[in-house]
Amino acid sequence: MHLFTVILIAILLSNNRALADHLSQFPVVNTSLGSIKGSILTSRLGKNIFAFRGIRYAKPPIEDLRFRPPQPVDPWENLLDATEDGPMCPQPAYNRSEVSEDCLRLNIYTKQIPGKLIRIQPQNVLVYIHPGGFYAFSGQSHNNAGPQYLMDQDIVLVTINYRLGSLGFMSTGTEDCPGNAGLKDQVMALRWIRNHISSFGGNPDSVTLMGYSAGALSTTLHLISPMSRGLFHRAIVMSAAATSQVKIPTDQIELARKQAALLGCPVIPADKMMACLRKKPATDYADSLEYMFVISWNPVLLWKPVIEPNFGQERFLDQDPTEAFLKGDFMKVPIIAGITKDEFAGPAVAFLRNETLRNELDLNFDTLAPILFLYERHTEESKNRSRLLREEFLRDEPLSLNNSLQGLNYLFADSLIGFAMHRFVQLASRHTLVYQYKFSYVGRYSFLYYPYEKTPYGAVHHDDLLYLLSIPSRAPIFNVTDPENLTVERLTGMWSAFANTGDPNNAQISMPHWKPVTKTDNHYLNIGQVLTMEIGLFAERFAIWDQLFPLPTENTE
């Protein structure tokens, strides 16, 4: 039954037209913490969406709580206004009043709300963890995570924020700041959802985690985190995984010191540094972001999750991700996992188009490659790897836009995204169902236009999100006559069928049977203008990476 039925009953019972009018614009949900007032949005196909946005799921992580694990929220008395998005976490932003450190918020979208007189069938829940390299973006509806597409399906959608950059990922290897705060935020959001989503018509026993890029890397960590056990039941891992060549450290003290120096704080001793860092305004962190990188916003993955030393705290990560998946020590839930055809072409274009950067990369390839492509620096082995990658992908030629673009694109794509996914799929599929995809559809809109800033380069990083979430800064909402309609229908159909049943083949669309990956066949669904089943995703390229970064047990040295 519909909320409008509730409203109708409310009208009949109260005969109070003013109240009824108010209720029909502002749905109210009662939770055990307090009551929440939402608003009504319209889905792409014209359905009503009850939206509850900007709900705090943790105390504001400010002052002494900065850098610390999130704390649960206290109950409230008055009606909580959740009619608009909350702020995004501190980051450089066009509009500063949309940013605040009080950013631990989530948005809930539902089409049915249970009430005193109304029983409903609880809907399956899809939780979205946003991308942005652990230092950008948010789950806000009006910037990059609008619900208009997914809410045409029968699900409850939740989007979450988590702390970013130094504020979310600082790790000094001490009890004071063991790291992973942003990931613990995500866990806190999942716990909030488990406790309260039924008030919004969601089923806490059927939660699908869907993460993109940094959010996907996070999702693969939730699969192995002792803190996340049992909080979700299926996973959609889009364009990143934690099983890459990146060595997961136990702290990033050097990065903490870099941040401290940029903000004029002492870098030793650690307690003085932290005390100073706790006093700096959050805007200082956003303003210094670009100076945290080594070269031109690289390495793209700067803040890393850490394997936390044990100080008796609740640890988010206590083992190496690749080893955990290798051992089969993870939540063996059904998984959708995949990448886009062209992924990280953006930095390749940026480096090759800029003469200074291009020359620098050309002359210092052996030292810059490990920074850009995320492997150990300064060792002989590192130098060997750089040489081999240059031979294999760039034919050892001088770098030029014309000749090196594809090779450099592949290097960024594989090192930042593809190889980790290849390894994740290989290891996870030994223990659980993995439906793999490659997204190759190219529509009229994209996150990278090249050449002439007019034509989409291909299917790059984030391009598949354009058909799952509305992203007003990048594309309009596609209507049923737009050519993109079919891709919206397919992606939202398959993803929600998976959230509802654990099998994307239950989507009400025309598609080939999507075969899971098996021991012998690396099946994947190619999501292009047509849907086709294929075998062996970028097998030749990933063989090079496999050879350079062998699995621990396959290491024959």
Active site residues: 213, 343, 461
Window of 200-208, 285-293, 484-492, 499-507 that interacts with ligand NAG by CB under 6 A: 484-492
- Residues ≥6 apart with Cβ < 8 Å to 542: 414, 418, 419, 422
Contact between 378 and ligand NAG by CB under 6 A: the answer reads no
Residue with Cβ nearer ligand NAG (53 or 341)? 53
Kindly state the smallest distance separating residue 295's Cβ from ligand NAG, in Å: 7
Contact between 486 and ligand NAG by CB under 6 A: the answer reads yes
Contact between 284 and ligand NAG by CB under 6 A: the answer reads no
Kindly state the smallest distance separating residue 44's Cβ from ligand NAG, in Å: 7
Residues 90-149 binding ligand NAG (CB under 6 A) are 95, 97-98, 115-116
Kindly state the smallest distance separating residue 35's Cβ from ligand NAG, in Å: 5
> Which of 5, 24, 30, 501 is in the footprint of ligand NAG by CB under 6 A?
30
Contact between 14 and ligand NAG by CB under 6 A: the answer reads no
Kindly state the smallest distance separating residue 217's Cβ from ligand NAG, in Å: 26
For residues 250 and 174, the answer to whether their CB atoms sit within 8 Å is: no
Q: What SS3 class is residue 415?
A: helix
Residues 292-321 binding ligand NAG (CB under 6 A) are 296
Kindly state the smallest distance separating residue 417's Cβ from ligand NAG, in Å: 23
- Residue 437: enclosing H or E segment and its boundaries? strand 434-439
Q: Mutual orientation of helices 181-196 and 214-222 as an angle, nearest 10°? A: 70
Phi, psi of 40 (to 5 degrees): -115, 125
For residues 196 and 31, the answer to whether their CB atoms sit within 8 Å is: yes
- Residue 405: enclosing H or E segment and its boundaries? helix 401-413
- Residues ≥6 apart with Cβ < 8 Å to 96: 283
Phi-psi bin for 134: left (phi > 0), alpha (psi -120 to 50), beta?
left
- Residues ≥6 apart with Cβ < 8 Å to 518: 429
Taking alpha carbons only, the member of 243, 256, 240, 246 closest to residue 179 is: 256
Kindly state the smallest distance separating residue 147's Cβ from ligand NAG, in Å: 14
Q: What SS3 class is residue 502?
A: coil
Residue with Cβ nearer ligand NAG (64 or 74)? 74
For residues 165 and 285, the answer to whether their CB atoms sit within 8 Å is: yes
Contact between 556 and ligand NAG by CB under 6 A: the answer reads no
Window of 311-319, 450-458, 474-482, 518-526 that interacts with ligand NAG by CB under 6 A: 474-482
For residues 189 and 57, the answer to whether their CB atoms sit within 8 Å is: yes
Contact between 481 and ligand NAG by CB under 6 A: the answer reads yes
Residues 214-253 binding ligand NAG (CB under 6 A) are none
> Which of 15, 78, 402, 555 is in the footprint of ligand NAG by CB under 6 A?
402
Residue with Cβ nearer ligand NAG (343 or 489)? 489
> Which of 480, 530, 535, 539 is in the footprint of ligand NAG by CB under 6 A?
480
Kindly state the smallest distance separating residue 54's Cβ from ligand NAG, in Å: 10
Strand pairing report for 531-535 and 523-527: antiparallel
Taking alpha carbons only, the member of 202, 172, 12 closest to residue 107 is: 202
CA dihedral sign of residues 140, 107, 333, 434: negative
| Type of residue at 205 | D
Kindly state the smallest distance separating residue 394's Cβ from ligand NAG, in Å: 16
Q: How many CB atoms lie within 10 A of CB 380?
A: 7
Taking alpha carbons only, the member of 342, 361, 486, 359 closest to residue 418 is: 342
Cα–Cα distance measured from residue 354 to residue 361, given in angstroms and rounded to the nearest whole number: 11
> Which of 310, 354, 359, 547 is in the footprint of ligand NAG by CB under 6 A?
354
Window of 330-338, 362-370, 461-469, 477-485 that interacts with ligand NAG by CB under 6 A: 477-485
Contact between 384 and ligand NAG by CB under 6 A: the answer reads yes
Which chain residues interact with ligand NAG by CB under 6 A? Answer: 30, 35, 95, 97-98, 115-116, 296, 354, 356-357, 380-381, 384, 400, 402, 476, 479-482, 485-486, 488-489
